[in-house]
Amino acid sequence: MNWLLQILSIAKFGLLSIPQRRGAVAATVIGTAGVVTVLVGVLSIATGFRRAMANSGAADAAIVLRSGADSEMVSGFGRPETRLIADAPGVARNADGPLASAELFVIINLPKASTGTDANVPLRGVEAAAVQVRDQFKVVRGRMFEWGKNEVVVGAGAAREFAGLEVGGTVKVGREAWPVVGVFETGGGVAESEVWTDARVLQAAYNRGDSFQSVYVKLASAGAFQEFKDSLTANPQLSVKVERQSDYYASQSTAITTLITTLGFLIAALMAVGAVFGALNTMYSAVAARTREIATLRALGFGSGAVVIALMLESMVLAVAGGLIGGGLAYAGFNNFHAATMNWQSFSQVTFAFAVTPQLLVRGIIWALFIGLIGGLLPALRAARQPIAVALREL
């Protein structure tokens, strides 16, 4: 208990002296805040992208691709195959038949609203069951396109990020301009990055015959997935790859999230080096200014271990203050910021919102504590090891 009181007394004395060295302290706090802001801000990009992908598939939804395909771009089915998939056991049904949508996926060029530069935007041809397969689908402005007509509806993310996609605008498909008649949402999923139209109309526009690239399926229950998968993979008429939609989109996000996370930690680590030197400078200044006081305390019976821990606590308190400021700045500047980036698996743009989560803020504080720990250790050891008689003669 006496040892703990010693630590608290020395730490309190150091914190109360902060106004006398506010310049060096401010440099440490600001440096740490900068590290945390950058780290949390960059990682919020990966988190937001991953969240958009995760919101794209329910547990009772599946996607079927041709065997060996890792994305819709390199998959392909004919009409007979899509009918076999739709009729497989485990598929949910309603009065109109199985809840399965054979879909066509192509890329069109549209200018970004912010820069005017062209970007690859997914144009998806769907069947009537698509709106029930994606159970969060809802038209929020305008109306649904009419089947058999050259009309499109656009995801809310696409409408926000790309020019000309407001209701009443047009989308150039081949040599024709198709009207935008509605805007839809799917709970923040990747479908909100897409433009939708009737699959048959899109087939005719691109001379695709009666071919598709994927089949999206609503299952009777989440537990029906294995039965559905086994029935398809065991069918000699089919060569397919069956995944839950959630697993498929999680794999689609791997490349971009790994890249962003790696860059985020690399940049933060480089900045952290500078912040550590700032903390070292601050604490060395604090030790130099308080040499006689520390020596006096040790002469009165305060242990060297208590001095080390107290000085390190002071450094970590300053770092945490910087971490809290940095976390607040990151949240204010990045959370729910909307953007679009390339999904390298599909070579198309995905719109998403940055997400500053509590987990990221905690990670930022941990980094701040690490900076404070490293920055305070050497000055604390120097203060504890300095001979008392020598320190008492310091002016």
Entry pTM = 0.77
Stretch 324-346: mean pLDDT: 85
Domain ranges of the chain: 2-54+254-392, 68-238
- CA distance readout (Å), 229 to 31, 63, 65, 76, 337: 53, 10, 12, 18, 38
pLDDT in tens, 262-311: 877 888 788 777 777 776 676 666 666 556 666 666 666 666 677 677 77
Burial (CB count within 10 angstroms: exposed 0-12, middle 13-18, buried 19+), residue 296 = middle
**How much is the pLDDT for 395?**
45
Burial (CB count within 10 angstroms: exposed 0-12, middle 13-18, buried 19+), residue 190 = buried
**How much is the pLDDT for 394?**
54
Please report how many Cα atoms fall inside a 13 Å half-sphere around the Cα of residue 356, on the Cβ side.
22
Query: Between 346 and 162, whose confidence is greater?
Result: 162
Buried b (16+ CB within 10 A) or exposed e, 240-250: bbbbbbbebbb
**Centroid of chain to Cα 52:** 8
Stretch 89-93: mean pLDDT: 94
Residue 388 token pair: 């008392």
Stretch 56-78: mean pLDDT: 88
Going by their DSSP bridges, the two strands 152-155 and 195-198 should be labelled as antiparallel
**How much is the pLDDT for 11?**
67
* Cα angle for residues 356, 359, 365 (degrees, 5° grid): 95
**How much is the pLDDT for 92?**
94
How many whole angstroms separate alpha carbon 152 and alpha carbon 251?
Answer: 28
Are the CB atoms for 105 and 212 separated by under 8 Å? no
Query: Between 183 and 115, whose confidence is greater?
Result: 183
Helices then strands, each counted (H, E), the chain: 13, 16
Mean pLDDT of the chain, nearest integer: 84
pLDDT in tens, 2-54: 667 666 766 666 666 666 667 777 877 888 888 899 889 988 988 888 887 77
pLDDT in tens, 116-135: 788 889 999 999 999 999 87
- 56 contact partners, CB below 8 Å, separation of at least 6: 186, 189, 190, 191, 245, 246, 249
**How much is the pLDDT for 134?**
86
Residue 270 token pair: 């480089």
Q: Is 237 helix (H, G, I), strand (E, B) or coil?
A: coil
